[in-house]
Amino acid sequence: MSGEVGLTNVDDEAHLDAAMLAALPRERLTTHTSVTDGPQTFEGFLARDLLDALHAEGETVTALALNDYLAEIPVEDFERYDVLLADTMNCERLTRRDKGPLWIVYPRDDHAELQDIRYDYRWVWQLYRLEVE
């Protein structure tokens, strides 16, 4: 994680391994997605918990995927909704051959407005980097 991050460990960035991420509070979320059939159960940690843990403060988070996909997400999304950074789907670990290592998942079944197409591009999978601005 880079940008406006309070806690860093490599230069101005915070590099997190699986053990560090496992220390964050675990959350579970069951919701439909736009690319799968039926409800899916995800496990992981809340995006706002990660930002709080690293004392990250900003208005926008730029999420980058392994295929160089990039999406800008308002931090307000993480404050208003329980946005999950999932590492498990239906009790199976997400790998980079699928949507891993992390997949940004919105609780779209709990909020009708999240079913709008303008939220779908924020579901970044194969997430590996966040830049806080």
Partner 1 sequence: MTRLRAVPPYAVPSLVIVALTAFLAFALVRLFQVEQAMRVNVDENMLWVVTQAQVASHRLDQAVNRRALGNSAEDPELRLDILSSRLTLMDDGPQRRYLAAEGLEPRLDEALDRMQALREIITATPGEARFDPERLTPHLDALMASLNRIANQVMMAEWESTGSRLDTYRNSLEKVIAAIVGIGLSGAILVMLLVTALRQRRAAQRGLMAHRDRLEEEVERHIYRYRQAAEALAQALDRERGVSEFYRSFAAMVSHQFRTPLAVIDSGLQRLLRRHHQFTPEQRSERYTRLREAVAQMTRLVESSLTAARLDGKQVEPSMGRHSLSGIVDHLCRLQSEATGTRRLQTEHGTPEPWAWCDRALTEQVLANLVNNALKYSPEDRPVRITTAREGDRVICQVTDFGPGFLPKSSRSCSNASSAAAMRRAPTVPAWG
- What span, in angstroms and rounded, lies between the C-alpha atoms of 10 and 122? 27
Q: Does 120 bind partner 1 (CB under 8 A)?
A: yes
Q: State which of residues 28, 35, 70, 110 lies at the interface with partner 1 (CB under 8 A).
A: 35
Name the token pair of 120.
């779908």
Q: Does 112 bind partner 1 (CB under 8 A)?
A: no
Name the token pair of 62.
């730029």
Considering only residues 5 to 34 of the shown chain, the ones binding partner 1 according to CB under 8 A are: 34
Q: Does 70 bind partner 1 (CB under 8 A)?
A: no
CB of 125 to partner 1, least distance (A): 7
Cβ proximity of 73 and 20 under 8 Å? no
Cβ proximity of 34 and 120 under 8 Å? yes
The nearer residue to partner 1, 2 or 126, going by C-beta atoms, is 126
- What span, in angstroms and rounded, lies between the C-alpha atoms of 86 and 7? 22
CB of 133 to partner 1, least distance (A): 25
For residue 18, CA distances in Å to 4, 6, 60, 77 come to 22, 20, 24, 24
Q: State which of residues 10, 19, 112, 117 lies at the interface with partner 1 (CB under 8 A).
A: 117
CB of 36 to partner 1, least distance (A): 5
For binding to partner 1 (CB under 8 A), which residues are involved?
34-38, 66-67, 69, 95-99, 115, 117, 120, 125-126
